[in-house]
Structures are given as structure tokens and as C-alpha cells.
Amino acid sequence: MALVGESVRTVTREEVARSITGSKRHIGGMLFVAGTVVALMGTLVVLFVLIAQLITQAWPVITGRGVGFLTDGLSSRPSTIGVWPGLYGSFAIGIIVLIVAIPLGVAAAVYLEEYAPPTKVTRFIVINIRNLAGVPAVIYGVLGLTIFVGWLEPVTSGRTILAAGLAVAVLVLPIVIITSTEAIRAVPGGLREAGYGVGATKWEVVRDHVLPYAAPGILTGIVLSLARALGEAAPLILVGAITGLLPETSLNGPFTALPMLVYSWSGRPSAGTEVDWANVAAAAGLTLVVLVLLFNAAAIVMRNHFERKRNGL
């Protein structure tokens, strides 16, 4: 046997197998591994091509207009159009999500993890939230149209950013709840026990011990849900974002947001060598992708930072 007489060296599993069975390399096995590698490479290549195509198409706009693209308003010509109304709209939606979905979501998570008795009702609420997380975005759009544009018209003035923001807030609410739940669950029980041990009430333990400990995880969840909220377009279409000309941005009038601009500009003609709609659509799409990536990266950085801080203590 080949192993006998060998000097000290690492023997791999494969070599043992081969020497035991005495056969040559297993073609089927190698094909299988190759297959998985192809799958991986394929995924990476697609991502690469997507980003590359986006950047190449957006390039004339980036080099030609620069920051102007971000500050100019809508117009009829791709050479003068900018995404400012979209940025404004997306920004406003983000604020509404922050104000509405975050407190509600974190509060619900706190209740579920700290207060809720293990009854059927609680189980029902948990299942319900998991279901909501899987509901397609367009359904939240329908909800937004009927309730926020329709029933709540006195408050939202109909098809406005407020209604759209609320629809998106409801959409990300389950995500906030789920991520906050996980963050709170990770808090060690000893911390709570210590609090109770010195006579604190449940709320005091939560407020002063559990929440601060879970805060990094909760923050990460918030940032991730904001990233998700930024990219959603279906609810905006249903609530009625404008895709034509929009002169100014306001909270209680016609509105638009970044994903809507990408959607609407993608459908316009792409012809000729000068900056055309395909270019500005790509530029708007790139802006959106960069924003989303920034948020996601911020979440990762925050998570690492707090983990290090906690472990280094």
C-alpha cells in the first residue's frame, strides 16, 4: 500500500479512499463538484454582468452630468433630466418608515419576547407575522390604495407620499419585528435575572438592560429594512406615483420616488448616440443600487463594530 513507508505528511481523505478502493479518480464525483462550481461562477458572472451593464449604460450620464443628475428635476429630455424628485420622495418614504414601522415593530418584538405568555394567541400572532413577511409587495400596494389613499384620505390627501410611505412602512413592519425578535432573543437570560434580582419591574429590565444589549441587532435590522423600503416599487405604482412631469416635490401632492423613475424611464425609447432614456434609466438604477448597498454595508459594519465592542469588553 502506498501509505506504508511514507514519511510524515498529511494524508487526505481522498488518498485514503483511493488507496482503499484502488480505483482511479471518480469522474462522476469530479463532475458533480465541477457542476457546483459552475453554479457558483454562473451566479457571480450574472451579478457581474448586471452591474457592468448598469455602469456602462450609466457612464455617459455620470461623466456628462455628474452631480447635476442628482440635483436636477424632471424634464422631457433625457439630457436634462435629474433624479432629485425621486431622491426626495425616497427620502420622505424612509422617514415615514422610520417614524411608523420602527417603533411599532420594536414594541411588538419586545412584547412577543418579554411579555407574551406561551398561549395559542401568542402562537397565532407569531405565525401571522411570519405570513405577513411573505406577502407579495403588490398586495401591500392594494392595501395602501384602499386604506391609505381611500379610507384615510382626510389624513393623507389621497395619492401622496404620505400614503405611499405608510404602505411601505406596513410592508417592512414584519421584517423589523422578526429581526428585533432575534436580537432580543440573543440577550442572555442572566442579564434579566440580575435585573429582577434587584427588584426591577419587567419594563425597567427591558428598558435598561435588554434593549440596550439588543440595540445593535435592532439597529442592524432597522437599516436592513430601510434598504428594503428604498427598493420597493410595486406599492408606489398602486398608490399612484407620477411618471410624467413633476415640477416640485411636496408632502401632500403628486409624488414620485427613485424606483418609480427607474421603472418609468426603462420603458422609454433608447435610440441614437446622445444620452437617451436607457442611459438615464441606468443612471437612476445605479443610484438606487448604490444607496441600497450603502445601507446594507452600514448594517454589516455596525454589526461588526458592536460585536467587537461587546466581545472586547
Partner 1 sequence: MTFRHTSLTQWVRRTVTLSVVVPLVVLASGCGEFNGGASSSGGSTVFVTGSSTVEPISILVGEFVRREGIAVAVEGPGTGDGFKKFCAGEGDVTGASRPIKDEEVEMCREAGVEFVELPVAVDGLTVVTNRANTVVDCLDSAALYALLGPESEGMRRWSDANDLAEEVGSSFTSLPDMPLSISGPGEESGTYDSFVEFAVADIAEERGTEEYLRPDYVASGNDNLIVEGLNGSKTSLGWIGYAFYVGDKEEVRGLEIVNEEGDCVEPTDETIASGTYPFSRTLFIYVNARSARDNDAVRRFIDAYLGPESDALVRDAGYVPLSESVKQAAFDAWGALS
Partner 2 sequence: MNLIDLSGDKRRLRRDARMQVALRTAALVSVVISALILFVLVRGAVDFLTKIDLGQLVDSGWYPRRDRFGLSTIVVGSVIVGGIAMLVAVPFGLGTAVYLAEYAPSRVRSVVKPVIEVLAGIPSVVVGYFALRFIAPEVVGRLFDPTQPRNMLVAGIGIGILVVPIMAAVSEDALRAVPASLREASYGVGARRSTTVIRVVLPAAVSGIVAATIIAASRAIGETMVATMAGGLDGSGPFSASPLEPGLTMTAAMTNAAGGSDQVQAGAPFLVLFFTGLLLFMVTMGLNIVGDRFVRRVREKY
**Which residues from 213-242 bind partner 1, rule CB under 8 A?**
213, 215, 219, 242
Closer residue to partner 1, CB minimum distance, 138 or 242: 242
Grid cell listed for 306: 458592536
Question: CA–CA separation, 76 vs 277, rounded Å?
Answer: 10
Which of partner 1, partner 2, none does 176 bind, CB closer than 5 to 8 A by kind?
none
The amino acid at 155: V
Spatial separation of the C-alpha atoms in residues 257 and 247, rounded to whole Å: 14
Cell numbers 417614524 correspond to 99
Within residues 105-164, the interface with partner 2 by CB under 8 A covers 105, 107-108, 110-112, 114-116, 124-125, 128-132, 134-139, 141-143, 145-147
69 binds partner 2 (CB under 8 A): no
Partner from partner 1, partner 2, none binding residue 107, C-beta < 5-8 Å depending on class:
partner 2
In whole angstroms, what is the distance from residue 16 CA to residue 1 CA?
Answer: 10
Q: Which residues of 120-156 are buried (b: 16+ CB within 10 A; e: fewer)?
A: eeeeebeeebeebeeeebeebbebbbebbbeebeeeb
> What string marks each residue from 170 to 209 as x (binds partner 1 by CB under 8 A) or -?
---------------------x--x------------xxx
Which of partner 2, partner 1, none does residue 88 bind (CB under 5 to 8 Å by kind)?
partner 1
Report the site for partner 1 in 252-281 (rule: CB under 8 A): 253-254, 267-269, 271, 277
Strand, helix or coil for residue 312:
helix
Q: Near partner 2 by CB under 8 A, which window of 73-81, 186-194, 211-219, 228-236?
A: 228-236
Of the residues 270, 298, 302, 306, which one makes contact with partner 2 according to CB under 8 A: 270
d(Cα 250, Cα 5) in Å, to the nearest integer? 82
Told to check if 303 binds partner 1 by CB under 8 A, we report no
Q: Does 38 bind partner 2 (CB under 8 A)?
A: yes
- 298: Cβ–Cβ under 8 A, 6 or more apart, which residues? 223
The answer for residues whose C-beta is within 8 angstroms of residue 67's C-beta and 6 or more apart is none
CB 186 within 8 A of CB 214: yes
Residue 13 interaction partner, one of partner 1, partner 2, none, beta carbon < 5-8 Å per kind:
partner 2
Judged by beta carbon, residue 129 or residue 220, the one nearer partner 1 is 220
C-alpha span between 193 and 221 (Å, rounded): 26
Q: Which is nearer to partner 1, 161 or 178 (CB)?
A: 161
95 lies in the binding site for partner 1 (CB under 8 A): yes
H helix intervals, 6-67: 13-21, 27-65
- Judged by CB under 8 A, does residue 79 bind partner 1? no
Interhelix angle 277-312/258-266, rounded to 10 degrees, is 150
What is the binding site for partner 1 (CB under 8 A)?
71-73, 75-76, 84, 88, 91-92, 94-95, 98-99, 191, 194, 207-209, 211-213, 215, 219, 242-251, 253-254, 267-269, 271, 277, 310, 313
